[in-house]
Amino acid sequence: MPREIRFNAFEMNCPALHAPGMWRYPGDESWRYKKLRYWTELAQLLERGIFDGIFVADVLGVYDVFNGTPDAALASGGHIPVNDPLQLVSACAYVTEHLGFGITASTSFEHPYPFARRMSTADHLSDGRIGWNIVTSYLDSGARNIGLTGTLNHDQRYDYADEYMEVLYKLWEGSWEDGAVVRDTEKGIFTDPARVHPINHDGAYFKVPGIHLCEPSPQRTPLLYQAGTSPRGMKFAVDHAESAFVSGPSTRIIGDQVKTMRDLLVERGRDKSAIFVYSLYTVVTGETSAEAHKKYDDYRRYADTGGVLALWSGFLGHDLGRYDLDDPIEEIQSNAAQSLALAITGGDPNLHWTVRDLAQWGAIGGPAPVAVGSPAEVADELQTWVEDTDVDGFNITFAVRPGSFEDVVEYVVPELQRRGVYPTEYREGTLREKMFGAGPRLPESHRGAAHRIQPIASSAK
């Protein structure tokens, strides 16, 4: 019995995400990122394709590692200009019924007390379709603008993030009892004060004595996404995440990551399938294999090497501008870059990759594969990837907008449906229920559930 495959769309409120330069492709609509209708039309398209959700990445800074300036990022539109992702939710929720919304927000930029309200509000307005991609790190360029640089080291950032999560769980799960909002018109009680509890949080980083400002939203805690891959990041993910985004160039790398994560989950007392894993992928397809390959060759002519290197320098934290494009990749003095190169080349000493090769390989799709071919060929590749890695689905990103998503919905989704491995309709309920068939609240085994309030008052005054 072949495994089910699920799709999530990977987007960002900016001109270029994983394919800088592609905004120049004829008919590409990346410049419309700032227009509401780009997003509402995309949301409707994705819902026609039964995508679980749309995930919107975010940074609050500029990629200025490459050559020590933001020039290449600005010129290529790579993650800059970049608008607030959260504000896309209400309009997209208005035009859809089932699509989920995975919104990225860093624990570093907003205090958990007002942030808790933002997520509760989004969950209310979307009738329980909100997810939060927890980011614990930040670009130095962004941190400098809010006075944050150098205050916490990598591991401390995760301790800070753990306490941030604890405050949120207390506000979301432990402040308002179910049924606190009684709306008793006879007695004149909207909310029963006896059923709303101050959280009295007094920690190392935060002191939050009060009650949550919002009544319980459909999911209370939004569906939690995470993408940490460092050892400490992985520990954070298995403690908090319900879904994870992974990205890498080979089934071996992704398979190892997924196995490590599932083993750790069991070790920490959660089910090994408690985290739904999406693997980053780009799809280039059409009626035929030939048409798909022609598209791909077309796309690649628009790739912007400087823009790609600006993004990679940011991801790797290492200035690739120091090297000549013809330098062998072995000369890159960055462990992360060496690991990546090794993964791509398989360590084959006969593959003489240069910095240019690395840039061109990642020009479309970033640090993850591009499936190029007919609908059947793409379906084969995706099914093999799932079998070999134990991921649950794909985080589908784009080369061109909205063309890449249109092609997936038009060609690949029906092919997978014909094979009986892709949903033909949504499950009812909140995002958590659609994803897991259970909910709408956090499962009992999740650490957030420990902060759940036990009803201590059962009647209105």
Residue 418 contacts its own copies per CB under 8 A: no
Residue 458 contacts its own copies per CB under 8 A: no
Please identify, using beta-carbon distances, which residue of 69 and 230 lies nearer to its own copies: 69
Say how far apart CA 93 and CA 78 lie, in whole Å: 27
Please choose, out of 17-25, 156-164, 371-379, 422-430, the segment that lies near its own copies by the rule CB under 8 A. 17-25
Please choose, out of 214-222, 288-296, 383-391, 432-440, the segment that lies near its own copies by the rule CB under 8 A. 214-222
Among residues 41, 44, 69, 414, the one that binds its own copies under rule CB under 8 A:
69
Please choose, out of 119-127, 150-158, 246-254, 322-330, the segment that lies near its own copies by the rule CB under 8 A. 119-127
Residue 151 contacts its own copies per CB under 8 A: no
Please identify, using beta-carbon distances, which residue of 146 and 351 lies nearer to its own copies: 146
Residue 29 contacts its own copies per CB under 8 A: no
Please identify, using beta-carbon distances, which residue of 32 and 447 lies nearer to its own copies: 32
The tokens for 425 are: 């309709």
Cβ-contact 386, 4 below 8 angstroms: no
Closest approach of its own copies to the CB of residue 30, in Å: 9
Say how far apart CA 147 and CA 88 lie, in whole Å: 28
Q: Which residues contact 369 (CB under 8 A, 6 or more apart)?
A: 249, 281, 282, 381, 385
Among residues 29, 41, 75, 427, the one that binds its own copies under rule CB under 8 A:
75
Among residues 29, 41, 44, 91, the one that binds its own copies under rule CB under 8 A:
91
Indicate the DSSP class of residue 218.
T
Residue 203 contacts its own copies per CB under 8 A: no
Say how far apart CA 450 and CA 461 lie, in whole Å: 28
Indicate the DSSP class of residue 354.
B
Closest approach of its own copies to the CB of residue 204, in Å: 13
Q: What is the dihedral of CA 419, 425, 431, 434, to 10 degrees?
A: -70
Closest approach of its own copies to the CB of residue 157, in Å: 18
Q: Which residues contact 308 (CB under 8 A, 6 or more apart)?
A: 20, 21, 76, 359, 360, 362, 363
Among residues 76, 133, 285, 389, the one that binds its own copies under rule CB under 8 A:
76
**Which stretches of 301-449 are DSSP H helices?**
305-316, 335-345, 355-361, 375-389, 403-407, 413-418, 431-436
Residue 137 contacts its own copies per CB under 8 A: no
Residue 430 contacts its own copies per CB under 8 A: no
Unique residue bearing structure tokens 């259970």: 438
Closest approach of its own copies to the CB of residue 180, in Å: 8
Per-residue x/- track, 160-199, its own copies (CB under 8 A) = ----------------x----x-x-x--xxxxxx--x---
What b/e string do you get for 344-371 counting C-beta neighbours within 10 Å, with b at 16 or more? bbeeeeeeebbbbbbbbbbbbbbbbbbb
Q: What is the Cα Rg of the chain in Å?
A: 23
Query: In which region does residue 100 sit, left (phi positive, over 0), alpha (psi from -120 to 50) or beta (all else)?
Result: beta
Please identify, using beta-carbon distances, which residue of 61 and 393 lies nearer to its own copies: 61
Residue 459 contacts its own copies per CB under 8 A: no
- Peptide bond between residue 440 and the one before it cis (omega within 30 degrees of 0): yes
Say how far apart CA 233 and CA 120 lie, in whole Å: 25
Closest approach of its own copies to the CB of residue 39, in Å: 8
Residue 74 contacts its own copies per CB under 8 A: yes
Per-residue x/- track, 364-403, its own copies (CB under 8 A) = ----------------------------------------
Coil vs helix vs strand at 27: coil
- Amino acid (1-letter code) at residue 400: V
Indicate the DSSP class of residue 411.
I
Please identify, using beta-carbon distances, which residue of 218 and 228 lies nearer to its own copies: 218
Among residues 8, 104, 120, 374, the one that binds its own copies under rule CB under 8 A:
120
Say how far apart CA 300 and CA 399 lie, in whole Å: 9
Please choose, out of 110-118, 227-235, 256-264, 396-404, the segment that lies near its own copies by the rule CB under 8 A. 110-118
Residue 152 contacts its own copies per CB under 8 A: no
In the structure, how many helices (H) and strands (E) does the chain have?
A: 16, 13
Residue 207 contacts its own copies per CB under 8 A: yes
